[in-house]
Amino acid sequence: MFGLGDLESSVMDVLWRVAEPVKVREVLERLSTPRQLAYTTVMTVLDNLHRKGWVERALDGKAYRYQPALSREEAAARALRTILDSSGDPEAVLLHFAQSASEEEVDVLRKGLRRKARKR
């Protein structure tokens, strides 16, 4: 995911795949990485993600349970907004994207723009 390191992205992927808040040990058990990770490594990554606003946590006994602060789709939209805001020419970026979009994606964009126009 844009703005996250590889391990942070892997941890977020685990959190997005589970239905309920999970403890560090549960994240560690679900991670599929090429190397064995220490519990403290995953705990540090989750703490960093919490500090960055990517995850929420609640104390459950002596340990925290973690869950995503936003959905995968909201995170992707946030990344796209960051790209557009930092591009210097968001119109050009959007036009290039529109040229690469599939017919299904174009239909979805049209529906979204119609909804937005109705809300005004």
Q: In this structure, what DSSP letter does residue 90 have?
A: H
pLDDT at position 1 is: 64
pLDDT digits (tens, 9 = 90+) for 34-57: 888 999 999 999 999 999 999 999
Most confident of 21-25, 33-37, 112-116: 21-25
Where residue 116 falls (left for φ over 0; alpha for ψ -120 to 50; beta otherwise) is alpha
Residue 107, pLDDT above cutoff 80: yes
Element (H, E) at 21: none
CATH T-level topology, domain 6-68: Arc Repressor Mutant, subunit A (1.10.10)
Rounded CA-CA distance 99/71 in Å is 27
**Closest to 8 measured CA to CA, from 25, 29, 35, 33:** 33
